[in-house]
Amino acid sequence: MNIARSRRSRLAFLARIARREMRHLRLTDQRLFGKPFTLEQAASLENDLDLGERVDAFVSRFGRLQDTVGDKLLPQYLAAVGETMGAMIDNLTRAEKLGLIESADLWIELRNMRNLMIHEYIEDPKVLVGALNRAHEHVEMLVSDAVRILEDLEGRGWISGA
C-alpha cells in the first residue's frame, strides 16, 4: 500500500517526536525512581525544588508520550493502513487487536493515572504517591508500545529507523 507523501511526512515527524519523548521520559524516570516514591518525598515537594522539578518533568513527559502516541501517532497509523479512526478508546482497542499495544484498558488506566498525578499533586499526597509509582511501573510498557508502532511503520517503509 502506498500512502500520500503528506501522510508519510506527518508520520516521520511524529516518529521523531515520539523517539525524543521516549528518551526524555526514560531519563527522567531513572532520575526520579532510584527506589519507589514515598509519602515523605511527596510531603517535601514544596521545599525540595530539585525533587519537585523531577516530579513535574516525569508527569509532563509521561503525559506527553501518551498524547503523542495515543492522540497523534496511532490515529495517523490507523488511517495510513486503511483502518477507520474513531474515539481514542476505539483506536486503542483496534491497536490492541492489531498487536501494536499491550492493552487498551491499561492505556486508559494510565491516562487516568496521569490525570491523578496532575490534579492530585497538591491535594492528596497519598494519591500522588500511588499514581507516580504506578506510572513508573508502566513506563517501559508505554515505550514498548510506541516502539512496536514505529517498527511496524519502518517495516512498511513509511518511516526510517532511529
Q: What angle do CA 145, 98, 159 make, to 5 degrees?
A: 60
Q: Tell me what percent of the residues of the chain surpass a pLDDT of 90.
A: 82
Grid coordinates representing 83? 483502518
Q: CA–CA distance from 62 to each of 5, 24, 31, 141, 157 (Å)?
A: 30, 9, 14, 12, 28
Residues 111-126 have pLDDT tens digits of 988 888 886 566 788 9
Residues 43-75 have pLDDT tens digits of 999 899 999 999 999 999 999 999 999 999 999
> What is the rounded distance in angstroms from the CA atom of residue 156 to the CA atom of residue 162?
15
Nearest one of 78, 111, 99, 104 to 86, comparing CA atoms: 78
Nearest one of 45, 32, 28, 12 to 123, comparing CA atoms: 45
More confidently predicted of 141 and 114: 141
Residue 104: CB atoms within 10 Å: 19
> What is the rounded distance in angstroms from the CA atom of residue 104 to the CA atom of residue 96?
6
Going by the DSSP 8-state scheme, the letter that residue 84 receives in this structure is P
What domains are defined for the chain? 5-155 (1.20.120)
